[in-house]
């Protein structure tokens, strides 16, 4: 008697992995497809689209990643590590204000480099425990960084840790709206925001040039097409 198997699920044990070789290849294809689609289209992409791009069935994807949170956790684990490391780097800066401004720029650059990660930093995924643990670690470090920057007299006293999510939401909005039409627009937004956080007399970064009118027009046309 013969047994049937779904495509991509044929027997073949890879020593020491606990996954059959073909199943592990499927997992790698799913992660690569999800990473690409999340980065270019954001987290709103359907799991069916991920499965198609990976060349596997929806059932195969569900076996590897039972929930969207499981997939998000696997795709963005390394980026969340970098996110947590950014605040550690900032805390190591002997100038807390410089560390703070560098941190803000670093995390916004991470968003600009990956639309999916731009969304991840403005959302929560309760089932993705490892990802949320790294987020909590980064948050605790940011609270300490804010206190140190205030102690220098350069960060406004009315700035709070709750302003960081607002910053990330604003930057994610610009990143998602402008895309490749005006890919550096976020830099000017972040520079304006840092200036608004600075107390009188604080050193502030230079203000990048505004996007050219034609680039902003392309971004607005692009956004209009996405909403229609």
For residue range 7-44, list pLDDT tens digits in order.
Answer: 444 333 445 455 577 878 889 999 999 999 998 888 88
How sure is the predictor about 227, in pLDDT bands with cuts at 50, 70 and 90? low
Region 61-66: mean pLDDT is 91
Q: Is residue 180 part of a domain?
A: yes
Q: Is residue 6 part of a domain?
A: no
Residue 33, domain CATH = 1.10.10
Statement to judge: residues 166 and 187 lie in one domain: yes
Q: Is residue 42 part of a domain?
A: yes
Q: Is residue 15 part of a domain?
A: no
Statement to judge: residues 36 and 130 lie in one domain: no
Domain with 174 in it: 73-210
Question: What's the predicted TM-score (pTM) here?
Answer: 0.80
Residue 173, domain CATH = 1.10.357.10
Statement to judge: residues 107 and 52 lie in one domain: no
Statement to judge: residues 58 and 83 lie in one domain: no
Q: Note the pLDDT of residue 228.
A: 64
Statement to judge: residues 51 and 150 lie in one domain: no
Q: With 0-12 CB in 10 A as exposed, 13-18 as middle and 19+ as buried, what is 63?
A: middle
C-beta of residue 50 within 8 angstroms of C-beta of residue 40: no
Pick from 36, 43, 34: nearest CA to 65: 34
For residue range 65-113, list pLDDT tens digits in order.
Answer: 998 889 999 999 888 999 999 999 999 999 999 999 999 999 999 999 8
Q: Is residue 192 part of a domain?
A: yes
Q: What Rg value do the Cα atoms of the chain yield, rounded?
A: 21
Q: Is residue 13 part of a domain?
A: no
**Number of domains composing the chain:** 2
Q: Which residue has the higher pLDDT, 219 or 91?
A: 91
């Amino acid at each position: 008697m013969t047994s049937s198997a779904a495509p991509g699920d044929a027997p073949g044990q890879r020593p020491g992995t606990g996954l059959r070789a073909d199943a592990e290849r499927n997992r790698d294809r799913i992660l690569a497809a999800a990473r690409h689609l999340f980065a270019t289209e954001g987290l709103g992409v359907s799991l069916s689209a991920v499965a198609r791009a990976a060349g596997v069935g929806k059932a195969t994807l569900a076996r590897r990643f039972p929930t969207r949170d499981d997939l998000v956790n696997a795709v963005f684990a390394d980026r969340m590590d970098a996110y947590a490391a950014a605040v550690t780097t900032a805390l190591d800066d002997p100038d807390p204000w410089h560390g703070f401004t560098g941190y803000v720029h670093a995390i916004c650059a991470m968003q600009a480099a990956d639309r999916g990660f731009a969304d991840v930093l403005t959302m929560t995924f309760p089932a993705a425990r490892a990802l949320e643990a790294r987020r909590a670690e980064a948050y605790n470090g940011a609270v300490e960084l804010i206190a140190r920057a205030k102690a220098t007299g350069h960060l406004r006293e009315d700035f709070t840790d709750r302003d960081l999510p607002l910053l990330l939401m604003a930057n994610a909005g610009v990143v998602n709206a402008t895309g490749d039409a005006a890919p550096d627009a976020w830099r000017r937004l972040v520079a304006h925001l840092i200036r608004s956080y600075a107390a009188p007399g604080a050193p502030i970064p230079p203000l990048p040039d505004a996007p050219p009118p034609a680039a902003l027009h392309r971004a607005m046309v692009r956004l209009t097409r996405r909403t229609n």
